[in-house]
Amino acid sequence: MEHFLATVATDAVANVSGVVNWARAQFAMTIIFHFLFVPITLGMSVLVAIMQTMYYKTGKKEWKATTKFWQKLLAINVAIGIATGIIHEFEFGTNWSNYSWVMGDVFGAPLAIEGIFAFFMEASFGVVSLFGWKRVGKRFHLFSTWMFAIGTNLSGLWIIVANSFMQHPSGYKLNIETARAEMVDFSRIALQPKAIDTFLHQMSSAYMLSATFMITISAYYLLRKRHITFAKRSIAVGITFALLNAYFLFLVGDMQAATVTNMQPTKMAAAEGLFKGEEGAPIVMGMLNPSIKIGDNDKTAVFGIPFPKGLSLLGKHSLNAFIPGINDLVYGNKKYGILPAKELMKRGKVAIDAMYAYHAAKKIKNTSEMKKQKDIFEKHSKYFGYGHLKNEKDIIPPISTVFYSFHIMVGIGSFFMLFFLFMYVKVRKNQILENKLFLKISSITLWLSYIGIVTGWTMAEVGRQPWTVFGVLPTSKSATPIHLTNVKATFFIFLTLFVILGFAELKMMLKQIKLGPDSHEEEV
Amino acid sequence: MKLFKKKQKMTMWQKLFLIASLKIIFLVAVIKPIFFPNFFKNNFKTEDSQKDFMIKQLTNNSIKSTNKPNSKH
């Protein structure tokens, strides 16, 4: 069975685009499922640590009960979500082995560091935090809870570093001899602006989601007039945390928009539906013209309310700066020094040809030819990925998916800024119980957060297309030429597994929420 | 019947431990070896043959290219 499923598919049975599409669908499904748990773990670990600190400082039993209740829900989340991430490691080795070969030496380093944090720091301190209430001293117990939170967040950092390399590769060199990317400067990978911005954006959105997790459950209790004191305390913590994060998200979102505009202009142009680049480009909040196509310069791209010069301000922090549109990036713009995609493809093909000629020369031991081809390759290697594209329009990601996912994320973030400001005032005035409509809205904020965070990542990942590593390795070249049956079979196995695990999580969570914080039925 | 009663008495922590353990065993001991063998190790005996395969993968449109190497770029 193993031989049939994972051997190289011969030309007769190879279905390259089928494998790429199914492998992408499988990766998207597994990462979305995994990501249902990750932000709650990232944020709730910090919130639980804050609540336990309150208990440590005040000695009040109410804080202890509050901490233990949220810690119990966090534990369910961790237990159900645990190991769903290792599925991606499996997929890298089988479905994406070309990608793993080329990028593994660079991409693997942050993932290995993440593994160390995940398995040592998180696991050891997590167990002490969860089961140490009566077994270790109060101070060491609190220390363990904080170390669990820090370990969890640090492991998140290394995943973001790996992802940021895919979005904006730096600190590496493509070796013509091995066809592998080699790390030349770790600091340029770990500390590049893309990684820092994305880490801050990701962490604050995970904290926002966790805050809304608390708010939604607390609002549910308040609407049913159950556990009023507990719920009021929890919703106050949740709303304060959510408000801080809503404004922090706005700031880091602005930083990230500038990074994306500079490093991935195709993604930003698609996200804003900007076809024709301009100085003082506006942001238009509205609907994408469904009939517009790449190359159309005269049609209105987005129907809606324009904010003049908004995009230039967002992307370049200057009112009159030029923002390249989709057409500029595909067909080039001499005035602003933007090369047409065809020229990038031509240069990429030079690099591919040089790699081919280098290995042909190596076979006949022609060292002078090898040196010549190596020099040509090194000169053109930054265009290597473009040489694999078939059409100049391929450099643009799916426009409507990127456009709508970006606008939904921004819409939800903007709503949160206003809503949580209003709710914070209500909390401060102790009027949280007075307006049922706002409590009802509060009770759905968790789902809005999930939509916001998933659409945000959809924009980031679909917006990176057609690349797995931006400009270097196209997605079509990253997948393994294996039998489609293998990818399809595992897709449906994981789908079944996730449905079962999803139901288990929901059932256990709902049971604990119904039991409430007063339950000592299952004391650790 | 006894087994059923035992299951009824499982605490939340025991259930979580059981779910996490079964999941890890299923993924690592069943899914990984059957469906996710290491592609390169499974198909190529030496690192050189793995490398040759990858070079071929990355240069297979080179011979079709109409733009021959041009060092002037």
| Pairing mode of beta strands A302-307, A172-175 | unpaired
Inter-chain CB proximity A6 and B39 less than 8 Å:
yes
Residue with tokens 């996710």: B36
H helices of A224-317, in order, are 228-263, 265-271, 310-316
Any idea where the domains of chain A sit in the sequence? 16-269+393-515, 273-336, 342-392
Query: How many CB atoms neighbour CB A407 within 10 A?
Result: 23
> In this predicted structure, what is the pLDDT of residue A10?
46
**Distance, CA of A20 to CA of A484 (rounded, Å):** 9
- Alpha-carbon distances, residue B71 vs A6, A351, A369 (angstroms): 40, 10, 13
Say what the pLDDT of residue A318 is.
Answer: 92
Asked whether residue B17 carries a pLDDT value surpassing 80, the answer given is yes
Question: Between chains, do B20 and A79 touch, taking CB under 8 Å as contact?
Answer: yes
Is the Cβ pair A179, B58 closer than 8 Å? yes
Let me know: does A253 contact A216? Beta carbons within 8 Å. no
* pLDDT value of position A483: 83
On the question of pLDDT at B2 being above 80, the answer is no
Distance CA A168, CA A266 (A): 13
Per residue in A22-76, pLDDT (tens digit) is 999 999 999 999 999 999 999 999 999 999 999 999 999 889 999 999 999 999 9
Question: Measured between CB atoms, which of B28, B51, B61 is closest to A352?
Answer: B61
What averages of pLDDT result for each successive group of 10 residues across chain A (524 residues)? Answer: 47 64 93 91 94 94 91 90 85 90 90 81 89 92 95 91 93 92 91 91 94 95 91 92 94 92 94 93 90 86 88 92 95 93 94 93 91 93 92 94 95 95 92 88 95 94 94 91 86 91 87 79 42
Contacts of A487 in chain B (CB under 8 A): none
Question: For the segment A361-397, what is each residue's pLDDT rounded down to a tens digit?
Answer: 998 999 999 999 999 999 999 999 999 999 999 999 9
- Residues 6+ away with beta carbon under 8 Å from A523: none
Block residue for tokens 């493809």: A345
What percent of chain A clears pLDDT 90, i.e. is strictly above it? Answer: 68
Cβ-count burial A117-151 (b if 16+ within 10 Å, e if not) = bbeebbeebbebbbebbeeeeeeebbbbbbbbbbb
CB pair distance less than 8 Å for A482 and B39: yes
Write the ipTM: 0.77
Q: Where are the domains of chain B?
A: 2-59
Give the residue-averaged pLDDT of B4-27: 79
The pLDDT of residue B14 = 87
Q: How many CB atoms lie within 10 A of CB A230?
A: 19
- What mean pLDDT is predicted for residues B17-44? 87
Q: Average of pLDDT values for B48-64?
A: 81
Over residues A148-167, the pLDDT tens digits come to: 999 999 988 999 999 999 99
